[in-house]
Amino acid sequence: MTSTGTVADTRLDWVDYAKGICIVMVVMMHSVLGVELAAGKTGFMHAVVMFAKPFRMPDFFLISGLFLPLVIARDWRPYLDRKVVHFAYFYVLWVTIQFGFKAPAFATEQGWGHVGVEYLASFIEPFGTLWFIYLLPIFFVVIKLTRHVPPILVWTLAALLESIHVASGWTVIDEFAARFVYIYSGYLFAGHIFALSDRARAHPSLALGGLALWALVNGGLVALGVSEEPVISLALGLSGACAIITIGTLLARMRWLNFLRFCGEHSIVIYLAFFLPMASTRTLLLKSGVIHDIGLVSLIVTVVGVVGSLLIWRTALRAHANLLFERPDAFWIAPKKPTPKLQAAE
């Protein structure tokens, strides 16, 4: 691993940019598809969502694995605290909050008893948008348990799982099969990924040329309808993740679009809270009929989802409701670590 990837107590600017791009794409996907489903038609944002589909979640998982080499050898207690308890706390809290908003509708449809059953079931079958933070701890534990298994064997099995497109109907099983190869690739090839970022920073013109070629290939395969075929889906997932990392590096180099870096630094805040401003704005705009262009409605809902979640976070901090976004001391099972400071890669 290069020097830019060995710093455990600092943040890397390009990583936050890449995470920011990812979280905005996630909000965009839920916003656009939700609007289109409710409206019964598609808009111009649909093409953007489809273009990003092959790499949107693969990139998020690959980045999640980047810093695992720094912590994988830790004792189980601090490892579980950072990689399992941390996400479990936010899952339990926010699945409860989401149910609080959705319970009346559920009760109207099938009764309050059904609401209770659905709530308990959410701890087996991840609820709504929260499946990502449900699955992350599982991935982290599996990677630690298999760290003495030959990496090429683990990666090959993970790649095969992705290629067969498991469709059991259970989110944990299906998403594990589809996504594990990406987080494991981030862990296994971290040194190469940091080196890629270093090269992109040093040779921006070459990086831009590579991005143009990638965009043509990715867009072409999506347009042809073959982007989800075995092998092709894995290749597009990995290449797309590398493309987002390259874009993040170039943005960090130029210090452009700092809002994306801010979003990446607070990606979990956006991920947890965007459902509320997204859903309320979608309902308001579609029922009012003020805007007729579905693409524009989708774009507005996306922007409000991102900005609204950050406003909820700031409001919570001012109201001393930090527990919504910060794990309280009572839920730590190992000593706290200091908050990383942002570092620009050299």
pLDDT value, residue 106:
78
Alpha carbons 81 and 333: distance in angstroms, whole number: 6
DSSP notation for 143-170: HHHTTTS-HHHHHHHHHHHHHTT---S-
Percent of the residues in the chain that have a pLDDT greater than 70, as a whole number: 94
Q: Which residue has the tokens 């009764």?
A: 111
- The per-residue pLDDT for range 205-222, each reduced to its tens digit, is 999 999 999 999 999 999
Question: Hey, what are 257's tokens?
Answer: 């679009």
Mean pLDDT along residues 165-191: 96
Cβ–Cβ under 8 Å, residues 304 and 278: yes
Rounded to 10 degrees, what is the CA torsion of 86, 92, 93, 98?
Answer: 130
Which among 316, 321, 285 has a CA at the least distance from the CA of 303? Answer: 285
Q: Which residue has the tokens 């600092």?
A: 10
The answer to whether the predicted template modeling score (pTM) of the entire model surpasses 0.95 is no
Residue type at 12? L
pLDDT value, residue 168:
95
pLDDT band of residue 114 (cuts 50, 70, 90) is confident
Angle at 63 between CA 267 and CA 217, to 5 degrees: 105
The mean of the pLDDT values for the chain is 92
Mean pLDDT along residues 169-197: 96
pLDDT value, residue 3:
31
Cβ–Cβ under 8 Å, residues 91 and 134: yes
The single-letter DSSP state of residue 83 is I
Cβ–Cβ under 8 Å, residues 211 and 217: no
